[in-house]
Structure 1
């Protein structure tokens, strides 16, 4: 059960980062920037880059970043708790079956087997979430839902107005 909760938390974390990236994209950020900033907000690391100004200077993006930060902290606590509970030896694992043949596993081996399952499972999930077209379709559907339910207001011009080194974009009204 702890392994299931551990993997469920990882899947939800991956989905939260992808949905956050999609929300950032809808506010006008480029795809690569939005993915990096979403992961950065979720993990609480790397948020001191100059690209972070794109988020802190925009009210919708700040709101998205806040949700990602809260979800990231909750996910980290859940992962630590379930990982620690998974590594705890049990008396005997009698649920393990190999081709319908029950194989009792001694208690001292259960943490190592669980660790092996976790490493292989995380590797498989990373491959699934980084190279799967299913996840891309899920992200596209999430974008449609965010626009449909007006969760995120789509903007296209914002990135053009952001400039570096003191330059800016201005608007002048000229009356004839």
Structure 2
């Protein structure tokens, strides 16, 4: 019975490793960690959510190839797990009628303990950082992917995020140029602007005007983006902008003081 549960745990472990490798591969194509993780698990399990992110996978040749491999491996994994579960149930029924009733509980305890360990490994940031480095090194060596851990490069695990923000007509952002908005003074960088029904403007310049219904790709502290999303046009919005600039100034002053102490 232990062998059946061990086989099931081994299958689950391999599934976690496969989805983790696929997550890093998706990240190498420019996807964020959360999007890459979601799409890897979606393709591996065959759920197939119809979202804009899924379309970005299908329309990208490298991502599409990764997803196809995941679908194939996922089908094999489901068949293996199903067969192993059936074997485990059969052995449990045999054990119930045998001479060792504790055998069932020992096997279940072994399986539950192994499952808890896998859950911890899957959610451990310490394990994730080191495993990602190993996977990235292997992908660079054995594939043509230009692997970069964009999450680590942009410090997205330290409060900073890359997020989309849709501009509504009543927003403080609407109908102003980037120079007028002065978002870098708040610690917000505009990486790109997706025009509604129009082109994508990458690395926009200061004279780029933000129009209603544009979608901005922003890099900033998550709290700052959330506040910016609720900021409305008018004097109140201008006051919120001034307060955000002052707050960012204090943060930068603190960082400068820490750097001087460390020199």
Residue matched to 1:166 = 197
Distance 1:87 1:132 in 2: 34
What is the CA distance between 1:64 and its match in structure 2? Answer: 0.3
What count of residue pairs does the alignment treat as equivalent? 156
TM-fit CA distance, 1:32: 1.1
- By percentage of residues, which structure has more strand? 2
| 1:127 Cα offset (Å) | 1.4
In 2, Cα distance between equivalents of 1:161 and 1:11 = 39
1:152 counterpart SS class: coil
- Hey, what does 1:55 align to over in structure 2? 57
Q: Which is further off, 55-64 or 125-134?
A: 125-134
Look up the match of 1:21.
23
Contact kept in structure 1, 2:6 and 2:111, CA below 8 Å: no
Structure 2 length normalisation: TM-score?
0.52
Match of 2:112 in 1: 119
RMSD: 2.9
Gaps of 5+ in 2: 151-190, 203-263
Over 3 Å counting, the alpha-carbon distance change for 1:80 and 1:112 in structure 2 is farther
8 Å contact from structure 2 (residues 5, 111) kept in 1: yes
Partner residue of 2:68? 66
Cα deviation digits, residues 22-74 of structure 1 (max 9, x gap): 00000111111111111111111142122111101100000000111111111
Q: 1:162 to 1:66 in 2, by over 3 A?
A: farther
Q: Pick from 34, 50, 59: which aligns with 1:32?
A: 34
Measure the CA separation in 1 of the matches of 2:127 and 2:65.
Answer: 27
Higher relative contact order (CA 8 A, sep 6+): 1
Determine which structure has more spread, i.e. the larger CA radius of gyration: 2
Structure 2 CA distance for partners of 1:59 and 1:162, relative to 1, 3 Å: farther
Residue 139 (structure 1) aligns with? 132
Distance 1:18 1:164 in 2: 34
Counterpart in 1 of 2:183? none
Q: Say if 2:100 is the partner of 1:105.
A: yes
Structure 1, unmatched stretches of 5+, are 94-103, 172-176
- Displacement after TM superposition at 1:92 (Å): 5.5
Distance 1:4 1:21 in 2: 25
**Alignment equivalent of 1:128, drawn from 116, 121, 126:** 121
